[in-house]
Structure 1
Amino acid sequence: MLTDYHVHIYETGGFDPNYLRRYAERAAELGIEEWGLSEHAYFFAETRGIVEEPWAEARRRLRMEEYVALVDAARAEGIPLKFGIEMDYVPGKEERIARFLESYPFDYVIGSVHWIGSWGIDLKEFRHEYERRDIREVYRAYFDQIISMAEAHLVDIVGHIDLVKIFGYRPADPKFLDELYEEVAEAVARGGLVVEISTAGLRKPVGEIYPARPLLEKLHARGVPIVLSSDAHEPENLGYAYDQALALAREVGYREVVAFRGRRREVFPLG
Structure 2
Amino acid sequence: MASPLFDSHLHTPLCGHATGTPREYAQAALTAGLAGLCFTDHMPMPAWYDAPWRMRRDQLDEYVQEVRAVQAEFAGRLEVRLGLEADFHPGTERFVEDILAAYPWDYVIGSVHYLGAWGFDNPEFVAEYEARDLRELYAQYYGLVEGAARSGLFDAIGHLDLPKKFGHRDPEGYAALHALDVVAERGLALDFNTAGWRKPVAEAYPAPDLTRLAAERGIPFVLGSDAHKPEEVGFHFAGALKQIHDVGGRVVTYQGRVRHA
- TM-score strictly above 0.5: yes
Q: Which residue of 1 aligns with 2:9?
A: 6
Dislocated runs of 4+, deviation >2 Å: 11-14, 19-22, 55-62
Unaligned runs of 5+ in 1: none
Q: Which residue of 2 aligns with 1:181?
A: 176
Write out aligned runs for 1:54-93 (5 A).
Answer: 55-56=50-51, 60-61=55-56, 62-79=58-75, 80-93=79-92
Matched, 1:258 2:256: no
CA distance in 2, matches of 1:127, 1:58: 17
Write out aligned runs for 1:85-234 (5 A).
Answer: 85-172=84-171, 174=172, 177-178=173-174, 180-234=175-229
CA distance in 2, matches of 1:257, 1:247: 11
C-alpha contact (below 8 Å) 2:42/2:54 kept by paired residues: no
Aligned residues: 251
- Superposition deviation, residue 58 in structure 1: 7.5
- Superposition deviation, residue 60 in structure 1: 4.7
- Superposition deviation, residue 92 in structure 1: 2.4
C-alpha contact (below 8 Å) 1:82/1:107 kept by paired residues: yes
Query: Percent of pairs identical after alignment?
Result: 40
C-alpha contact (below 8 Å) 2:26/2:70 kept by paired residues: no
CA distance in 1, matches of 2:202, 2:166: 9
Unaligned runs of 5+ in 2: none
CA distance in 1, matches of 2:159, 2:104: 23
C-alpha contact (below 8 Å) 1:109/1:155 kept by paired residues: yes
Matched, 1:26 2:28: yes
C-alpha contact (below 8 Å) 1:181/1:218 kept by paired residues: no
Matched AA of 2:161: D
CA distance in 1, matches of 2:30, 2:112: 30
> What per-residue deviation string (whole Å, max 9, x for no partner) do you get for residues 206-243 of structure 1?
11010011111111111111111100001110011112
- Superposition deviation, residue 190 in structure 1: 1.0
Matched AA of 1:5: S
- Superposition deviation, residue 59 in structure 1: 5.3
C-alpha contact (below 8 Å) 1:34/1:259 kept by paired residues: no
CA RMSD of aligned residues (A): 1.7
Looking at secondary structure, tell me which structure has more helix per residue: 1
| 32-41 or 89-98, larger mean C-alpha shift | 89-98
Matched AA of 2:116: G
Q: Which residue of 1 aligns with 2:40?
A: 38
